[in-house]
Structure 1
Amino acid sequence: MTRRDIPNLISVFRLLLVLPIAYLLYEKQLGFALTLFVVAGISDGVDGYLAKRNDWASGLGAFLDPLADKTLLITSYLVLGWIGLFPLWLVVAVISRDAIIVIGSLAYFVLIGRVEMSPSIISKVNTGAQIALVVMLLLTSIFGGLEAIIEPMAYIVFATTLLSGMDYVWVWGKKAWQNRSQPQ
């Protein structure tokens, strides 16, 4: 184990936080859940910063980092929907988008070849909006006072989720069409 492994270890740490966060959300221990969610969010920034600043990026990290992010967000949205804090339509949109991306990338890999994805601007905005909505919902549930912004934020997340999903389908559909006869 070397210093180059630190970003990957941080991503694994974030993955390990998913189950405690899910449990705390389910048990409506929202203050503790928020604390761990924020720690997970900070760890996401730290591992990316370290990997880029020190040239410690790796193939494993390119897999672990988005896996940890998506696992955290999907699990949080599922549990918050289950306990009635998020509307079903939003949970379905978030999960469907990610399922379409995973299925599409697997199909691309099988039919065309290697998939090298990098998030688009709308995808980064979407992830930020999804995280912000979870944080704001938890803060509102704990302290109150921000109820009026939760519903508009949910609609914004819905819109960015749809737009980023359509963006991935468009970009990767176009790449698949262009590369259809050139297996890699």
Structure 2
Amino acid sequence: MGKSHENIYTIPNILTFSRLVAAPVVGYLLVHDYHAAALSLFAYAGITDLVDGWIARKYNLQTVVGTIIDPMADKLLMTIGVACLAVNGSLPVWLAVIILGRDVGLAISAIYYRWISLPPPKTMARYWDFSLPSAEVKPTEISKINTALQLVLVGTAIGLPVVPEAIISSWHLSEAMTGFQYLVAATTIWSGMSYVFSKNAVKILTKEEIQKRIAQAETKRKH
């Protein structure tokens, strides 16, 4: 009988899990106004986001679970960051509602697609077993752009309180930040709609595709 699990304990996935852990810590630091420490940890998350993707491609360590938890780590960091920045007044509430509202909609869709794509028997244990691939999410192009812009927005909002007031005033950073907020709002709405109308954003794997991916993962692990 073919195996239905893939090896998820790869360096890229471990780095991604570390970003998942870092997200609530960033939120804690923001709520307590430790902006310098929050900015450092946020920078770590950004660097590991680039590094884990590079390692996965260079050493052929891509996994189906990686396609799920990588954007999940980005979104968790984004969700916590945006919520905490809105709470302490660094971001306007209306923008936080747009960003978080889109993410809630995508999360509900992900839960739905995971359930309908899960091979029987459909149990909660199997549902949360991410080494059992059943569906693959392919971010749209505007979604990738929007994610990058949102990360820049959050990073800038975290970093501005660390910048001296004289620089903020002379470089008109507050005005630039306001314009950038409207840009992010527009791309957030656009990217949310792209998932609704794109036919390639979510792919439910067939039994044959699942077995093929597991076999490929086993071959990589043995070599």
Q: In 1, distance between residues paired with 2:113 and 2:197?
A: 13
1:96 aligned partner, one-letter code: G
Alignment pair present for 1:70 and 2:97: no
Cα deviations by residue, 1:53-91 (Å, 9 ceiling, x for unpaired): 110011222222111111111000011011111111111
Task: Give the 5 Å matches for 1:113-128.
Answer: 115-128=135-148
CA distance in 1, matches of 2:30, 2:202: 40
CA positional deviation for 1:107: 3.4
Distance, in Å, in 2 between the alignment partners of 1:151 and 1:83 is 16
1:163 corresponds to 2:190: yes
Alpha-carbon distance in structure 1 between the residues aligned to 2:161 and 2:199: 39
Q: What's the CA shift for 1:99? A: 1.3
2:110 is the counterpart of 1:105: yes
Name stretches of at least 5 consecutive residues in structure 2 with no aligned partner. 1-6, 119-133, 204-223
User: What's 2:95 paired with?
Assistant: 90
Q: Give aligned-pair identity as a percent.
A: 33
Aligned residue type for 1:118: K
Pairwise CA distance, 1:103: 1.8
Moved over 2 A (4+): 104-116, 172-176
- Against the structure 1 CA distance between its residues 112 and 24, is the aligned structure 2 distance closer, same or farther, given a 3 Å change threshold? closer
Whose helix proportion is higher, 1 or 2? 1
Q: For residue 45 of structure 1, what is the aligned residue in structure 2?
A: 50
Does the 8 A contact of 1:105 with 1:115 survive in 2? no
What CA RMSD, in Å, does the superposition of the two structures yield over aligned residues? 2.3
Q: What is the DSSP-based 3-state SS (H/G/I as helix, E as strand, rest coil) of the residue aligned with 1:85? A: coil
User: Counterpart in 1 of 2:123?
Assistant: none
Aligned positions, number: 174
Q: Which amino acid aligns with 1:28?
A: D
Partner in structure 2 of residue 182 of structure 1: none
Contact 2:136 2:202 in 1 (8 A): no
Structure number with greater Rg is 2
Q: Name whichever of 159-168 and 81-90 sits farther off.
A: 81-90
Give the superposition deviation at 1:117: 1.7
Partner of 2:213: none
- Supply the distance in 2 between the matched residues of 1:109 and 1:164 (Cα, whole angstroms): 21
Q: Counterpart of 1:116 in 2: which secondary structure? A: strand
Question: CA 1:174/1:78 → structure 2, altered by over 3 Å: closer, same or farther?
Answer: closer
Equivalent in the alignment of 1:134 = 154
TM-score with structure 2 setting the length: 0.71
The one-letter code sitting in structure 2 at the alignment partner of 1:44 is: D
Q: Which has the higher contact order (CA 8 A, sep 6+)?
A: 2
Segments of structure 1 that go 5 or more residues without pairing to the other structure are 177-184
Tell me how far apart the structure 2 counterparts of residues 108 and 8 of structure 1 sit (CA, whole Å): 22
Contact kept in structure 1, 2:139 and 2:201, CA below 8 Å = no
